[in-house]
Chain A
Amino acid sequence: MTRSVILFVGVIAAVLMSYTGLSLLPGLQLFDIEATPGTTDYTFEEARGREVYIRDGCIYCHTQQIRPENFGADIARGWAPRPTKAGDYIHDDPHLLGTSRTGPDLSDIASRQPSWDWHMAHFYNPRAVSPGSVMPAYPFYFDVIEPGAVLASQRTVPLPAEFAPPDGKVVVAKEDVENLYAYLMALRVEPLDAAE
């Protein structure tokens, strides 16, 4: 090759073709799909919680995608009643499909584990409810205060004695983790009719 222009026009054409194919075409194909039944836009609180999920990188260990029945054991594990479809994600910007399952999939966590107590104890220290977990603890989501200082609007996080803070102090959730919990409770995969 002695002509640089030919070379460079060729390589730009190559990359623009794949951009069209892999980025624009799927967008056009899915442009007017409808939300699957049960999928609603996030409330203000849920959207705030989603920002915490994004900010603190939950995506690096948790997926939000359920594989088909004959591919992997997602459904057999009871992670969701059906594989997820494009219509489940139409309110997701950015997408949070994830690529790693160091922790379990969260597409349907609201059905699997709705307990506020469990989630708060788990965020405060995952080992408190999931022995052997490698998930980091998130003590910065909580305030550790005197029992007398708990406001009427606040709930204390129930913890096993060995994980509870010393000196009889109690653990209360900050706003971030309340929002995060609200977001997790919006993660639900509704079963579809047999016709689907």
Chain B
Amino acid sequence: MTEAVGRSVPRKDGIGKATGRAKYADDLVFPDMLHGRTIRSTVPCGRLAGVRHALGPSFTVVDWRDIPGRNVVALIADDQPCLVEREIRHAAEPVLLLAHADRETLLSAWVALEEEAATPVFDPEQSPTAFKTILIEKGTLDAGFARADLVIEGTYRTGAQEHVYIEPNGVIAVPEGGGIAVYGSIQCPYYVHAALVTLLGDAVTHVRVVQTETGGGFGGKEEYPSMIAGHAALLALRARRPVKLIYDRQEDMEATTRRHPSIVRHRTGVTRDGTLVAMDVEVILDGGAYVTLSPVVLSRGTLHAAGPYRCEHVRIAGRAMFTNTPPNGAFRGFGAPQTQFAVEVHMDRIAEALGMDPIRLRDRNALRPGDTTATGQVLGADCSAREVLRAAVRKSGYRRKRKAWAGTDRGIGLSLFWHGSGFTGSGELKLASRATVELTATGVRILTSSTEIGQGTRTMHAQIVADAMGIPYEQVEVAVPDTAVVPDSGPTVASRTCMIVGGILQRAAERLRAQLAGLSPAEAFRRLGPLAVTEQYVQPEWIRWDEERYRGDAYATYAYGCNVAEVRLDRDTWEVRPLKVTAVTDVGKAIHPALATGQIEGGTVQGVGFALLEQVVMRNGAVANAQLTNYLIPTTLDTPALDVVLLEHPYPGGPFGAKGLGELPIDGPAPALVNAIRSLGLDLRAIPAVPERIMEAACASS
């Protein structure tokens, strides 16, 4: 039998998606279903004084007084209301919910909010409120700076970014018995489950959450679905009928989360030979109006802020700040793309200040096995920062091109980056994720709450289980994530679905296989009947993490990448065209090379958008360009040629050596592209690098 792992087997969901048969939330229809609509605040800060409408009895209307449990979207701080009571903290905050059988009638219904505006805070640096502060300290900064021949400082900024999953957020709530079922486009069914239990309290006998086929997530369907599911459930309970609540593109862009804008300041001491001796980093994230996931985004941001470099004296101080804007939230990379943009552009500026080749500077300081990170974690043999750097330089022809293109309108630049796999520190231990493998009449079935959102979860999990069981891939089925059926395997986030949940499944499959005593699953099912094995996450014994002091093993392991970007600058329009990105990536083991390549290609292009095109324009705390006409993501004509190279330095703790992959590719493109622009003599320290910004940099340097 051919093994499945390491082969690009057919996707489990390939044919359904290629024929249009796959069912997404908006494709489902339930008997007597109503359509839902959300009435939202228009001011960024103030007080709700009243609501006026003249809606007839054919409308279902819900406000905060109709919430049977607690009026919060349960997550970390429970500070965000599901519906505004009095205080308005941001524009597009949900106030009133309507449902009606006829969509046109619903959309044309007149509702007026009486809002008393107060003075908002938009600048995170002026905000009086920090949601979270983090301090990472290693060595003594003064001692480090005392050794420095040169100190280089800089401030770097990144803008907000929209997820632009092509399927907007949407759910359908369906009363069933005395309980409620919610079907929807979601990444984390158990997050939604927990939020609904808090919101609905004793009003329901049970809550069930079922993932429908999901048209992209990228973090945008991590925490927000708890809000929209709550709204649909409240309407459905009031109407006693199913309610479909699907956002159109504009509402999705106005109301749902975005990538945190950031300001990062570096002060770095180096010796003449290019050794980093002191790194002082300040990280500021704009959290928006409620805590949501900002503390954990800040955590990952600060933990990656020093880049994949060795340095004895490091201080990283981070804070996530309140502002009167819609809450920013999870987005692929989760703080790390912001802080690694800063450190990687800063590295090129250090190289310039030293008169040193930026590759040599990185090679000298890149983390090696046995080195310690800023939190004091000792890295294992799978640390491959220098290997990816060297491979990327070689494969891209970086040195030759850099030399040949000097003085032309072509530029080339590079970035070296890393990404921790799984939840931070003891996060995985607290999650205590579970996953099940059970016998069926034809093979086995996987039961997890890990969601397929495009990345290939079903396929990759089935490969791991097939090989661990020693059975053909075709004999492995994957259950639909339905909280009434599957155990809580934790959320589908943090580059954890392969390494962490895949690892649990591998152990479950091995234990089930041992119980079969040589019988095939189908034969065992006939003889023994149903049999299921559930395993729970077991933390490697060596992991130590001090949450108070931010010391220890921040992640079980890290994946590494290096991007080389080639660009052409048009000095008439100041547009930068990305020509090619060489992406060398080490994920330990590519369980499915074509899926892994697809993650890298897709993440890289999202990174190109983040770097060059995607600009969220805010006016008085609201998104001014909430449509795809003027918020631009890369089309086929905006993307560079991509050369993806996979390296494999296996991590012994991952299934078949695999590490996390999903987020890593978006960390590298922005700094590589800006460093390519820098090679043309333009000192750019903020993205998106739209023509206006490039022109300003050109004017400043001339």
A and B physically associate: no
Chain A contact residues, CB within 8 Å of chain B: none
